[in-house]
Amino acid sequence: MARLDGFLEYGREEAPHRTIEERVKDYREVELPLPETALQAQAARCMDCGIPFCHGSGCPLANRIPEMNDRIHRGRWREAAAILHATDNFPEITGRVCPGLCESACTLGLHGDAVSIRHLERMVADRAWAEGWVEPLPPRMRMGGKVAIIGSGPAGLAAAQQLARAGHDTVVFEREGRIGGLLRYGIPDFKLSKTLIDRRIEQMEAEGVRFETGVAVGEEISVSYLRKRFDAIVLAIGAGVPRDLDVPGRDLRGVHFALDYLGQQIRLNAGEIVADPIHAIGKRVLVIGGGDTGSDCLGTAIRQGATQVHQIELLSRPPEKRPFDMPWPAWPKLFKTTTSHEEGCMRSWGFATDWLEGRDGRVTRWHGHDKHSGETLSLEADLVILALGFLHVVQQGLVEQFGVELDAFGNIRVDAEGSTNVPGVFVAGDAILGASLVVRAVQTGRQAAKGVNDYLRG
Ligand SMILES: Cc1cc2nc3c(=O)[nH]c(=O)nc-3n(C[C@H](O)[C@H](O)[C@H](O)COP(=O)(O)OP(=O)(O)OC[C@H]3O[C@@H](n4cnc5c(N)ncnc54)[C@H](O)[C@@H]3O)c2cc1C
Ligand code: SF4
């Protein structure tokens, strides 16, 4: 522990953001780094409290947070990076997009402000890349196992990296033309620059991972072919079925799923050609769904030049402070203002959608009611985005062909090692959990890799 009294001397400092005026003109990342002296002070706030709940019950990866904080405070950045990489394959990514489950479990947070763990993690990872400390770690020995990973989101990538490093021949099959899953085509560039994924892919290729893009397994190549060619398979196919809105007017033009909308802008940013993209310029945009994906849609619509953006949520407005039924160190559902909200939008809670009105086949109005008072409300809208979350894994095709069992939620059932009822077939990420988080995808990817390694080694 670097300082006994750091938490008494320093208050929590948030990472700065680019000004709203500047950032809404482009899609570059919003968050800026804190300077080194401020980072060392933030790390010194860690009390090394004895039982680190941040590590034990907060972070799904069990990142060794007090040790990382200690090394940052002492200026031993390379050691901090090694500590972080021991448990987290992609800390530069979790350090940007993780909601910081660890911070809600930080002991300092019991009576005050938690340590700024997520930003410290990001800065350690960024420094490691900038200094050239992140190198490929090819295996010293080949183990002879052949493993196919289906899906290249964070779960598939983490599983692939672990298995390649353990000496297995590892091939990642991805339906899309580019690697990354929702890291690539879901999370907007202003939260996660795509160059971060590209350099990890380079590292993984140097470690021996092979990537086959543009291949939909179960369509272009058959499951029986894969089973003959590979000793084990990891399904990391995400939770691809979006929740829909069953109301009159749903089929009007101008009503779209969030992921279709977000993915198109990301493709445009990458220079890909998108025929007839969904665009918000000059439109009144209504986002149905009050979560983070909805907020990503707001930020995108603002950058595209929407004249007005409004986010509507079915549930009541969450509390600002931790309520008694979400006690420390649990992750509480609290009222949140994201950087996209700060950029200018209206927000309403507790409204259900009744129907969508249109003219000449195009949406023009949203009609709903207040769930508590029953009062009706009607809003003009030229573009309606459905950000209602995801139901479960796509069950037809691949999942059916493998014959894996599903759980009560419609996702793939696994044991503690990520193994399904079919020998040699493992699962990771949202395909098990339903729509979840990057950090959990990485954790289950590592878990499935361990399961595969144990299986292959008998
Ligand atoms: C808009 C949006 C924003 C988000 N923001 C955040 C955030 O800020 N922080 C956070 O922690 N989480 C966020 N999430 C959630 C997070 O992105 C997911 O939990 C995570 O990506 C799941 O990883 P995964 O690897 O299981 O699946 P995915 O990332 O969904 O990847 C699955 C991959 O499998 C491929 N695939 C599917 N079927 C086949 C097939 N038959 N053959 C070949 N390939 C196939 C798909 O094309 C896809 O690339 C967000 C999600 C969305 C939608
Ligand atoms: S991955 Fe998330 S929960 Fe884990 S230490 Fe980083 S910010 Fe915290």
User: What secondary structure letter does DSSP report for 218?
Assistant: T
Q: What are the tens digits of pLDDT across the range 29-44?
A: 999 999 999 999 999 9
CA–CA distance, 305 with 314 (Å, rounded to integer): 26
Q: What is the mean pLDDT of residues 267-273?
A: 96
Looking at beta carbons, which pairs linking 316-320 to residues 24 or more positions away fall under 8 Å?
A: 316/349, 316/350, 316/371, 316/372, 317/349, 317/350
Q: Amino acid identity, residue 273? A: I
CA of 185 to the centre of ligand 1 (A): 8
Where are the CATH 3.50.50.60 domain residues in the chain? Answer: 146-240+391-456, 244-388
Q: What are the tens digits of pLDDT across the range 188-202?
A: 999 999 999 999 999
Sign of CA dihedral 124, 179, 135, 232: positive
Q: What are the tens digits of pLDDT across the range 340-357?
A: 999 999 999 999 999 999
> Distances from the Cα of 129 to the Cαs of 5, 77, 137, in angstroms?
31, 11, 14
- Tell me: pLDDT of 72 over 90: yes
- Tell me: pLDDT of 1 over 80: no
CA–CA distance, 311 with 331 (Å, rounded to integer): 24
CA of 56 to the centre of ligand 1 (A): 25
114 CB near ligand 2 (under 6 Å): no
What is the pLDDT, as a whole number, of residue 240?
87
Query: In this structure, are residues 134 and 203 in contact, taking their beta carbons and an 8 Å threshold?
Result: yes
Q: What are phi and psi of 99, to 5 degrees?
A: -70, -5
- Tell me: pLDDT of 311 over 90: yes
Which residue, among 458, 457, 456, 444, has the nearest Cα to 155 in the 3D structure? 444
- Average pLDDT of the chain, as a whole number: 96
Give percent of the chain above pLDDT 90.
Answer: 94
Ligand whose nearest atom lies closest to the CA of 116: 2
Which residue in this structure is represented by tokens 């009706």? 376
What CATH number does the domain located at 146-240+391-456 have? 3.50.50.60
Nearest CA to ligand 1 atom 14: 437
User: CB under 8 Å to 438, separation ≥6 — which residues?
Assistant: 90, 93, 94, 97, 98, 154, 183
CA of 183 to the centre of ligand 1 (A): 7
Confidence of residue 2 (pLDDT cuts 50, 70, 90): low
CA of 353 to the centre of ligand 2 (A): 35
Give me the half-sphere count of Cα atoms (radius 13 Å) on the Cβ side of residue 234: 42
- Name which of 178-187, 359-368, 392-401 the model is least confident about: 392-401
120 CB near ligand 2 (under 6 Å): no
Query: In this structure, are residues 360 and 261 in contact, taking their beta carbons and an 8 Å threshold?
Result: no
Q: Amino acid identity, residue 283? A: K
Where are the CATH 1.10.1060.10 domain residues in the chain? Answer: 6-130
Query: In this structure, are residues 184 and 178 in contact, taking their beta carbons and an 8 Å threshold?
Result: yes
In the chain the first and final C-alpha atoms are separated, in Å, by 41
What is the pLDDT, as a whole number, of residue 68?
98
Whether this prediction's pTM lies above 0.85 is answered by yes
Q: What is the mean pLDDT of residues 72-81?
A: 98
Sign of CA dihedral 264, 270, 275, 278: positive
In the CATH hierarchy, which top-level class contains the domain 6-130? mainly alpha
> Distances from the Cα of 271 to the Cαs of 24, 267, 268, 333, in angstroms?
19, 6, 5, 37
- Tell me: pLDDT of 305 over 80: yes
Q: Which CATH superfamily is domain 244-388 in?
A: FAD/NAD(P)-binding domain (3.50.50.60)
Q: What is the mean pLDDT of residues 308-319?
A: 95
191 CB near ligand 2 (under 6 Å): no
**Regarding predicted confidence, which is higher, 417 or 101?**
101
Site to probe by mutation for ligand 2, drawn from 72, 89, 121, 440 as the one with most ligand atoms within 8 Å of Cβ, is 121
- Name which of 78-87, 216-225, 255-264 the model is least confident about: 216-225
